[in-house]
Amino acid sequence: MKQKNTKKTYKTVLFLGKELFSNDVGSLLETINKKVIGTKKTIKIFTPNPEQLVLAQENKKFSNLLDKADILIPDGVGVVLFSKLKSMLSGKPGIKERITGVDLVQKLLKKASDESWKTLLIGGRGYSDKFHHIYLPGISREKKLSLLWSNGYENVSKPLKKEEESLEKLIKKEKPKMVFVAFGAPWQEKWVIEHEELLNKSGVELVMVVGGSFDMLLGGLKRAPMWIRAIGMEWLFRLAQEPRRFKRQLKIFKFVGLATKDLIVKN
């Protein structure tokens, strides 16, 4: 269902029941800046791709979590393609461009570097215990990024009390301006909503779910070459590196069915 909460002050397109940001990445960064300046509450950014939009259709709890985000970015070439097709058939505006989570993360990290913002990454595997002042792609060599890391939980589906207490203590002590959460859906979205009060009270200005973005930024996964991204096959490039994702990718067929039905019914 269409969201009934806060009125949007930026362009969105309703797609499979979700209000997705529909402008370019430059406009998105401007929107984020205005929201950070104009509100004292933590800005929540979620990144629904085709797989997650299918999950939202199947799982009401996850659907409700997505509805609680301040901004939903269209992280999936299929989302953009079907939105543009729907636009052609209906004459109504469609999503202007795909905004990938990893690209947005990189731009936000540059902002954090420019503003000397302390940043916390929660989740992921194989990173150092805690790392400060590291260089990442897109960050000026003259500037350093203050980035902290915590894996959060050994099993995010069954968090231990001591893990919760340790993470809460870390956030309250470090007071990061920006927090990225990398547990994978639906756990990362669930964590953000459940810990929104903690983030607000700790002065966090922006929290974003990032999936495997940092695996790419830190070299754990190779990013697809530009020409592969341009033709919308980045998902296949990643699948070649992580064959265990095969079953998850089968949801693409369900997505195509749902998106096609949406075209037929609504037009």
- Digit-by-digit pLDDT tens for the chain (267 residues) are 344 444 455 789 999 999 999 999 999 999 998 887 767 789 999 999 999 999 999 999 999 999 999 999 998 888 999 999 999 988 888 999 999 988 899 899 888 888 888 899 998 877 664 454 455 555 555 566 778 888 899 999 999 999 999 999 999 999 999 999 999 999 999 999 999 999 999 999 999 999 877 776 776 666 666 666 665 667 665 666 666 665 666 778 899 899 998 888 765
* Torsion 91-54-210-186 (CA) sign: positive
Q: Would you state the pLDDT for residue 39?
A: 76
- Give the residue among 142, 79, 151, 88 at the shortest CA–CA distance from 116: 142
- The Cα 131–Cα 212 span in angstroms is 18
Surface-to-core class of residue 266, CB atoms within 10 Å of its CB (0-12 exposed, 13-18 middle, 19+ buried):
exposed
How close are the terminal C-alpha atoms of the chain, in Å?
18
Q: What are phi and psi for residue 214, nearest 5 degrees?
A: -75, -25
- At 220, which amino acid appears? G
State the pTM of this model: 0.85
**238: alpha, beta or left? (left if phi > 0; alpha if psi -120 to 50):** alpha
Q: Would you state the pLDDT for residue 60?
A: 97
Q: Would you state the pLDDT for residue 8?
A: 58
Q: Are 157 and 97 in contact (CB under 8 A)?
A: no
Look up residue 224 and give its DSSP letter.
P
Q: Would you state the pLDDT for residue 233?
A: 65
- Tokens for 111, please give them: 């902002």
